[in-house]
Amino acid sequence: MSVLVVGSIAFDDIETPSGRAKGVLGGAACYFSLAASYFAPVRAVGVVGSDFPDAHLEFLRAHGVDTQGIYRSEGSTFRWGGRYRESLNERDTLFTDLGVFDGFNPDLPEAYHDSEYVFLANIHPSLQLRVLEQAHAPRFTAMDTMDFWIEGAREELERTLARVDGLVINDQEARQLTGERNLVRAVGAIRSLGPRIVIIKRGEHGALLFDQEGIFSAPAFPLREIQDPTGAGDSFAGGFVGALAREGKLDSGALRRAVIYGSVLASFCVECFGLDRFRELESQQIEERFAHFRALTTF
Amino acid sequence: MSVLVVGSIAFDDIETPSGRAKGVLGGAACYFSLAASYFAPVRAVGVVGSDFPDAHLEFLRAHGVDTQGIYRSEGSTFRWGGRYRESLNERDTLFTDLGVFDGFNPDLPEAYHDSEYVFLANIHPSLQLRVLEQAHAPRFTAMDTMDFWIEGAREELERTLARVDGLVINDQEARQLTGERNLVRAVGAIRSLGPRIVIIKRGEHGALLFDQEGIFSAPAFPLREIQDPTGAGDSFAGGFVGALAREGKLDSGALRRAVIYGSVLASFCVECFGLDRFRELESQQIEERFAHFRALTTF
């Protein structure tokens, strides 16, 4: 089953307590695509500038990512710089140069119209809706968003939320979106906006899934060292949607297993800078860590 | 199997976003005793002032708590006042009047010497050690501590740590005790000080157990409303040690189940102000919530 993702493609400058990386490939669409690629064929939609090396596209294609939905525009690729604090839970954005991402106008290639699993990474909610409308018969749709759109594009955001099956969002954003401090009540308020499935990402504390059958709590994997948290949330989403597509079911059991696969991919992602962990990661390691998650939670 | 606890007994003034309570019964020894009382006979060691009503002691005894180790001293019972912030994760101490707790000198009644499960709640580490030395043949010993002793009584703390089987501590204190930001590494450092079992309490994010077999991650129970977080950690410890005593085993399976029982008791505790939830709580509700924890974590 095919997975479609739309989102940013970027060059990142990253500083963490473990080191730094400059101009490395990043962006939600890349993290998502690579994570999901371990489970299903992925179709990526995004924009890059004239400075974007073909080698990056080849890297994605080597992982089974269809890149025909990534178009090239005259100008610079989106650049982002961030510095993580000692706790790794907080980061300061050092700069954001939108470049060609500013005029991003996602149009799906004809071959993408039949995509069955659609993920709308964090872009303007109107663009998310535009992509959604081009997918003819998706089996499952989900989206992410951020504080910037919650504050600045509330109406468009609610229109898009009303159309998706699932929302994957972090705890602070869930509170901001609903004005509810308590997460159980916040999720109730989110569901009244549309999504029947809500996943709350809590960073080092794991994730909560709210579905038709109740609540599922997934831990984060306890790691001795985290090199770089960048992309953990998008890798989670990629693992989650990818695993759902591979299993082909949407019952509560499938959703729970997919949340664990999402957590597995996020846990690998943060072990190295940028996307580096995905250069070496093998499917067998993913299955092994999935088993570790079972050992971590069984009583 | 008998459970012994030594710790504070207090009158608390509590303010939370849900309301306030004034002069209510509190203190680590009370929260622990009541939580543990659902699983095993409990023996409490503490001090109260001449202002302490007999009715409170009768409340404890009605729950099967042996109070002959609680002695009365001339003066005022320990009083503490705290105000929780909106997030419930942070609180400001408004006042601390130690009263008779200042001269606390724990001596175990003869009948307590054979206690098999011993919990040293958060008091000066020298007093913790003094109690430990009076327990003749404990099967399992564990302790709590706090920032105040980590900073101000390091040497005594390390002496006590070297003698216990387990440490139950919150994440911030674990970091402070070891200087390690990463919890996996912090626990490694704690174990080198003595305890082979370490439990990291993470409030609304649950708890982590590190034992001979690896790591176990327990979620907190997702509640729609938390009235008052006071005593959650001590109720957790009470449920944990009580459940261990009831089961009579110390293997990894027993430890994991006990961590879940601790989480169950903590989740009930925070539903009402002070100790009020324990006035009505029944064993059957505890077993039902234990089953809910399984549903919450199974995949």
> How do residues B147-182 score in pLDDT, each as one tens digit?
999 999 999 999 999 999 999 999 999 999 999 999
Please give the mean pLDDT across all residues of chain B: 97
Q: Which domain holds residue A58?
A: 3-297
What's the first-to-final CA gap in chain A, in angstroms?
34
Instruction: Encode pLDDT of B94-115 as tens digits.
Output: 999 999 999 999 999 999 999 9
Look at A299 and B183 and tell me if their CB atoms are within 8 Å: no
In the predicted model, what is the mean pLDDT of residues B249-265? 98
For residue A25, give how far its alpha carbon lies from the nearest alpha carbon of chain B (Å). Answer: 27
| Residue B188: predicted pLDDT | 97
Look at A222 and B296 and tell me if their CB atoms are within 8 Å: no
Q: Which CATH number goes with the domain that contains A212?
A: 3.40.1190.20
For residue B67, give how far its alpha carbon lies from the nearest alpha carbon of chain A (Å). Answer: 34
pLDDT of B129 higher than 90: yes
Provide, as residue numbers in chain B, all residues whose Cβ is less than 8 Å from the Cβ of A182. Answer: 223-226
| Residue B47: predicted pLDDT | 98
CA A237 – CA A28 distance, rounded (Å): 10
| Residue B20: predicted pLDDT | 96
Nearest one of A142, A35, A119 to A69, comparing CA atoms = A119
Q: State the residue for tokens 């979620």.
A: B219
Question: How many domains in chain B?
Answer: 1
Contact B91, B65 (CB under 8 A): no
Provide, as residue numbers in chain A, all residues whose Cβ is less than 8 Å from the Cβ of B259. Answer: 299
pLDDT of B1 higher than 90: no
pLDDT of B137 higher than 90: no
Look at A184 and B216 and tell me if their CB atoms are within 8 Å: no
Give residue B35's region: left, alpha or beta (phi > 0; psi -120 to 50).
alpha
For residue A221, give how far its alpha carbon lies from the nearest alpha carbon of chain B (Å). Answer: 9
- Consecutive 10-residue averages of pLDDT for chain A (299 residues): 96 97 98 98 98 98 98 98 92 96 95 97 97 96 97 97 98 97 97 98 97 96 96 98 98 98 98 97 98 98
| Residue A180: predicted pLDDT | 95
Contact A191, A161 (CB under 8 A): no
| Residue A87: predicted pLDDT | 86
Instruction: Encode pLDDT of B24-41 as tens digits.
Output: 999 999 999 999 999 999
pLDDT of B87 higher than 90: no
Give me the DSSP letters along B261-296: HHHHHHHHHTTSSTTTHHHH--HHHHHHHHHHHHHH
pLDDT of B78 higher than 90: yes
Instruction: Name the residue in chain A with its Cα closest to that of B87.
Output: A181
Q: For A193-250, where are the alpha helices, taking DSSP H only?
A: 232-247
| Residue B264: predicted pLDDT | 98
Instruction: Encode pLDDT of A9-58 as tens digits.
Output: 999 999 999 999 999 999 999 999 999 999 999 999 999 999 999 999 99
